[in-house]
Homo-oligomer: A and B are copies of this chain.
Amino acid sequence: MPHVITFAGGESGAWRVTAMQQVFGPVLEPVTQLNITQSSERPPQPATGWALQGLISNLRYAERGEVVQLRNRQEGLGRQHARCAALIPIKKSQAWWDLAQDERRAIFETRSHHTAVGLDYLPAIARQLYHARDLGEPFDFLTWFEFAPEHASAFDDLLARLRATEEWRYVEREVEIRLERAG
């Protein structure tokens, strides 16, 4: 069974929300805490706040050379010094999804250097991508980042570089949720 991950925004959870910024599209209700759970089935929506769900799927664009580079450089989630995090839910436009695979790959990596940009920030900025579109979720992707407080400005750089790419012209909804470990 796939692991469905649920990011539940509300008034409890292991992560404290330090800032929420609506980058593109409709607002996501402001919350103060984030609770993360994994399950084999999709839990019901909470009565208050929100719950965004996704799952780890196979790679959609990365070629073997990129996979090797990523594996050599990246570190996992849960590092003790990584007390800062960000959750960035994104929805892309129908125009993106109507593109053929070679067209999406050309925009994603050949011209926007998505993987290459992320590599520049490894191992400092750890990340995990969760796919949500085929679950009928309001966002297509949920990306979770973890880093030490001293790398927060590097993380800002990473976001600025990605948002300046051709790929980002296809982003029609994006929310930036910045967090710190509550404990």
Residues of A that sit less than 8 Å from B by CB: 1-2, 40-41, 55, 57-64, 66-67, 97, 100-103, 105, 131, 133-136
Nearest Cβ on chain B to A129's Cβ, whole angstroms: 13
CA distance in complex: A148, B137 (Å): 38
**A67 interface neighbour in B57, B100, B105, Cβ under 8 Å:** B100
CA distance in complex: A137, B127 (Å): 27
With CB as the reference atom, state the residue of chain B lying closest to A60.
B101
Q: B1 near A136 (CB under 8 angstroms)?
A: yes
Q: A134 near B100 (CB under 8 angstroms)?
A: no
- A67-B100, A101-B60, A105-B101 known; A135+B134 contact, CB < 8 A: yes
CA distance in complex: A59, B102 (Å): 10
Q: B100 near A66 (CB under 8 angstroms)?
A: yes
Tell which of A64, A134, A135, A136 has the most Cβ of chain B within 10 Å: A134
Nearest Cβ on chain B to A26's Cβ, whole angstroms: 16
With CB as the reference atom, state the residue of chain B lying closest to A131.
B134
With CB as the reference atom, state the residue of chain B lying closest to A66.
B100
